[in-house]
Amino acid sequence: MLPAIHDTGTGEAVLFFHAFTMDASQWDHQVAALSADMRCVRVDLWGCGDSPPPPAGAPSLDTFAAAVIDALDSRDIERVAVVGLSMGGYLAFALWRLAPERIRALALCNTRAAADAPGPRDERLAMADLVEREQSVESIVEPMVARLLSPGAQAEAHIVDPVRGRIRRCTPAGIAFAQRAIANRLDSTALLDSITVPTLVIAGTQDAIVGPDEVHAIADRISGATYVELDCGHLSNLELPHAVSEHLSTFLTPATMTS
């Protein structure tokens, strides 16, 4: 089942993958900054944003990545630069595993390569069960805000209110699918050695979900990767939209990438 696609601008294609509990609108600022020169293609995970509900079957990020390839095919998009934040990074790894020839560059933000340890994995599965049982995402809104944003950003209504809104727009089925699919994901640490395209890695010094050391380790394993550390929490592109857009703009300039 094809995910919803938001297709803005013309030029070389850039595919954006959003974080868990977010949707394509997470990238609004970056699309506004880049779409004069690039074709910005954003997908919504099943059950989030404008996408249809998750399909039946075992929840898997690989299944979603395969559907994204079908969606790119349906729009005659051959190669993309991929920008992924957190869960979006897990999806970027899934896409690289499936079709590396389709990827011309990678921007990995606030993400990790390792699979879950047993404790965090159990917490994910418990959240999936909770939202399904309650048929509501309301009880996860404030705990997610506290994890996703730095204390400073939590005090900024223009940052925190849209984050709450995006979480509330996810369906219980979408949240449950995402948590189970993330819990089932493969460890991508060894995959890092196979990444040969230009790569930008962005970390947040106040990231409560993936600390900067773990993000830095990704850049260390990818040959030639550029590492950038910003003073922000997990959702770097929402806390520091101008800085992230500028780093992406510089990185995605055609001269810096193989064609």
Write out the residues near ligand MLT by the rule CB under 6 A. 19-20, 86-87, 182, 209, 234
Q: For residues 194 and 109, give the distance between their C-alpha atoms in angstroms, rounded to a whole number.
A: 19
Residue closer to ligand MLT (CB basis): 26 or 245 = 26
Beta strands in 12-112 (DSSP E): 12-17, 38-43, 80-85, 103-109
Provide, rounded to whole angstroms, the least separation between the CB of residue 75 and ligand MLT.
Answer: 25
Query: Per residue in 150-169, is it b (16+ CB within 10 Å) or e — as a string?
Result: beebbeeeebbeebeebbeb
Residue closer to ligand MLT (CB basis): 104 or 234 = 234
Residue closer to ligand MLT (CB basis): 5 or 87 = 87
Provide, rounded to whole angstroms, the least separation between the CB of residue 214 and ligand MLT.
Answer: 11
> How far apart, in Å, are the Cα atoms of 236 and each of 53, 100, 128, 204?
27, 26, 25, 6
Residue closer to ligand MLT (CB basis): 12 or 25 = 25
Provide, rounded to whole angstroms, the least separation between the CB of residue 84 and ligand MLT.
Answer: 9
CA 101 to chain centre: 20
Query: Helix H segments across 135-235?
Result: 138-148, 151-154, 157-169, 172-183, 212-221
Residue closer to ligand MLT (CB basis): 38 or 148 = 148
Provide, rounded to whole angstroms, the least separation between the CB of residue 74 and ligand MLT.
Answer: 26
On the CB side of 156, how many CA atoms lie within 13 Å of its CA?
Answer: 13
